Structure 1
């Protein structure tokens, strides 16, 4: 009896031990296991309810045993229980929040009801329950004012804000991960560094067919407004990546160039629009009028 640990200490201690074991044995990465796996959270809640139920049963049995004891034995039991834990201030705070009468004073609040020897106590609602009830009323009033009177951001508004933030984050990520570009996400590059890199690729891979100034040779003139397979950035990107028309035209460069290099050389090709080559080849294809063919500036 002297080393008896009260239930308000046993329950959290045992629960924390179980929680620590769960976190130790379940690999959940950087997140706690009960957040990463909802089933773990349900398991822990079930364990907590079981621990509370066990403590409630133990407390009920102790109460029944206490009423069976004679005067001296009863006094000794109460004295030993009183001295079983030394943090008296914490125990007093706990009892105050619980709002229960001491066992020896239960005779003051016992009711006349008697069901097969089971008697009923006229305990008030626990203070913690009353405080929680008042807090819920205050919360409801604040919630009503914020969302139904002052038109605060609702779930749809918050979703749209988070979606906009996510799009911004994706765009910022793309700037540092340009090699993820593809036919669906490619945009016209205008940075001097990108155009310079595209020019290097062009001079290495393309001048044999299109000449150094883009005027055309075996391949078509890249400086006029006529295009065989389209003159916007997506069309040029696809042509460089996949090649020209089946059986003839330019080869596919996707196996030799990285996606960012294809985007850079495509942007450089479009930067040649409106320039004057030394020996321009006759126009081929159709005239392409599009805002995406605006010449990027170096």
Structure 2
């Protein structure tokens, strides 16, 4: 590190320590120093220590300079300045460029002369050759990987990510019940959900359906007859969108959350098979096993022809 000045050493070392902290501490989506204040304090102390070390090094150098004679001091400062100029970068650039110094160009001048313009016989620069060779190696590996061994391409990766996204969305929906809709709603059987559904029913529905579900203004909820469907999806849709136009129940989707509609719909289905005090006459069609079965009456017609 002696080849780098302090304004490079301090940020570099601090970044290495910061990266190590982030790597070894699982802090979820937020950086570790935001999730844990102690980590922020630790990083702050590390930064102070690094600055203190650089200050001490600078102070020691100043003390040493005072003890040197003028000639030794000049040599030391010249060497330090030379070090901080990053001569290794300049040397590396010269090697990668591969060109001849101007003083030696006479050795590679070609005989061509175009109106006084001469041409140099320079070799291709090493950086170009290395890049060219690297592209050949990359092309060969790419050809084998994707065209010979049928490796996964971008379309395959996209399909995999989309499939995983669907799985993640479904898993999230299971914990985010308020995202439920008529296509994803399922019958809730948990006691807490049914209790919440009962509260919603008693608050909003008993005026039309009675507390025991026997029906009044609204239809009987205890029999097998349903006007708009008697499964959880049908009941949820009826609660959400409302009943028949002009004479049915209002749409509750503006007043109730999706989870609340799922809860009250599940509670409504618990009335099936119960005996209300004053059941209303059946309306609609028989609903069994999620299939609508319409009762029909067979009328026998006398087809005897009298002469």
Normalised-by-shorter TM-score class: 0.5 to 0.7
**SS at structure 2 position matched to 1:167:** helix
Q: Work out whether 1:198 is the aligned partner of 2:203.
A: no
Aligned-CA RMSD value? 2.8
Aligned length: 208
| CA distance 1:272–1:160, change in 2 (3 Å) | farther
Partners of 1:179 and 1:133 lie apart in 2 by 57
Q: Which residue of 2 aligns with 1:129?
A: 128
Q: Which residue of 2 aligns with 1:110?
A: 109
Higher relative contact order (CA 8 A, sep 6+): 1
| CA distance 1:292–1:286, change in 2 (3 Å) | closer
Q: Which residue of 1 aligns with 2:96?
A: 97
Q: Which residue of 2 aligns with 1:277?
A: 275
Matches within 5 A, 1:5-44: none
Report the CA distance between 1:92 and its aligned residue.
0.8
Partners of 2:196 and 2:103 lie apart in 1 by 88
Q: Is the 8 A contact 1:214 1:222 kept in 2?
A: yes
**SS at structure 2 position matched to 1:114:** strand
Q: For structure 1, which segment, 245-254 or 171-180, has the greater mean C-alpha deviation from structure 2 after superposition?
A: 171-180
**SS at structure 2 position matched to 1:256:** coil
Report the CA distance between 1:166 and its aligned residue.
2.2
| CA distance 1:224–1:113, change in 2 (3 Å) | farther
Q: Which residue of 1 aligns with 2:245?
A: 246
Partners of 1:147 and 1:292 lie apart in 2 by 51
Matches within 5 A, 1:210-221: 210-221=209-220
TM-score by length of 1: 0.60
Unmatched 5+ residue regions in structure 1?
1-82, 294-298
Q: Is the 8 A contact 1:186 1:233 kept in 2?
A: no
Partners of 2:193 and 2:152 lie apart in 1 by 41
Unmatched 5+ residue regions in structure 2?
1-81, 293-307
**SS at structure 1 position matched to 2:139:** helix
**SS at structure 1 position matched to 2:111:** strand
Report the CA distance between 1:191 and its aligned residue.
5.9
Report the CA distance between 1:285 and its aligned residue.
1.0
Q: For structure 1, which segment, 235-244 or 213-222, has the greater mean C-alpha deviation from structure 2 after superposition?
A: 213-222
